[in-house]
Structure 1
Amino acid sequence: MASLGYGYYPTHPGEVLKDELEARGISQRKFADSIGMGYSVLNEILNGRRSMTTTSALIFEAALNVPADALMRLQLKYDMQTARKNTTLADRLKKIAQTAAVL
């Protein structure tokens, strides 16, 4: 994966936001209340168990001044790296490439 310009381990955008909240000394509960998001939803995003959406990225941008497009690029890279590690998908893609090569 290094040839793709990605790090070895994918970084979920929630990790960045979690670090940002910790650096600012803001509790997850207080932050969730301030942005009108359920605590469990915020916690799942921060811990990489829920994907970042464009709406949530824009909310985080407004609240923390972290660019929404940067968060979405992280999510895309995370999703791509995670998908590439899926062996079922890798096998399927290999078969498709073999089929396409003979067309």
Structure 2
Amino acid sequence: MNKKLIPARVVAPGRILVRELEARGWTQKDLAEITNRPPQTINEIIRETKQITPETALELSAALGMSEKFWMNLEANYRLHLAKKQIQFRQS
């Protein structure tokens, strides 16, 4: 078995968040109110300029019915992916 394994596609947490909002018919402002987070925070997560903190992961978990570990793992995997890309870029 010499098949080349290809890693799963890495998705930014903000993209998942957008899909969840669309599925529920919510706006970013709606989610901000539900999670008691500033609307700017939700927008920055969606634009990939802000990371999901443990506190935000807990709030997203409560609001969306997904585990906080899901959000933290998604964020960690995405950030590792970006770091690997940066290292590869520097080495080329």
Q: Unaligned 5+ residue runs, structure 2?
A: none
Match of 2:25 in 1: 25
Q: Does 1:84 align with 2:91?
A: no
| TM-score, scaled to structure 2 | 0.81
Moved over 2 A (4+): 2-6, 87-91
Please show how residues 19-98 of structure 1 align to structure 2 within 5 Å. 19-87=19-87, 91=91
Q: Does 1:6 align with 2:21?
A: no
Checking the alignment, whether the CA contact within 8 Å between 1:45 and 1:51 is kept in structure 2 is yes
If you compute each CA radius of gyration, which structure gives the higher value, 1 or 2? 1
Q: Unaligned 5+ residue runs, structure 1?
A: 92-103
Amino acid at match of 1:5: P
Deviation at 1:71, TM superposition (A): 1.3
Deviation at 1:88, TM superposition (A): 7.8
Report the secondary structure of 2:23's partner residue.
Answer: helix
Checking the alignment, whether the CA contact within 8 Å between 1:61 and 1:68 is kept in structure 2 is yes
User: RMSD over aligned Cα, in angstroms?
Assistant: 2.1
> Percent of aligned pairs with the same residue?
28
- For residues 48-70 of structure 1, the C-alpha deviation after alignment (integer angstroms, 9 at most, x for no partner) is 22111111111000111011111
Amino acid at match of 1:37: R
Checking the alignment, whether the CA contact within 8 Å between 1:57 and 1:68 is kept in structure 2 is yes
| TM-score, scaled to structure 1 | 0.73
Query: Number of aligned pairs?
Result: 88
Amino acid at match of 2:13: P
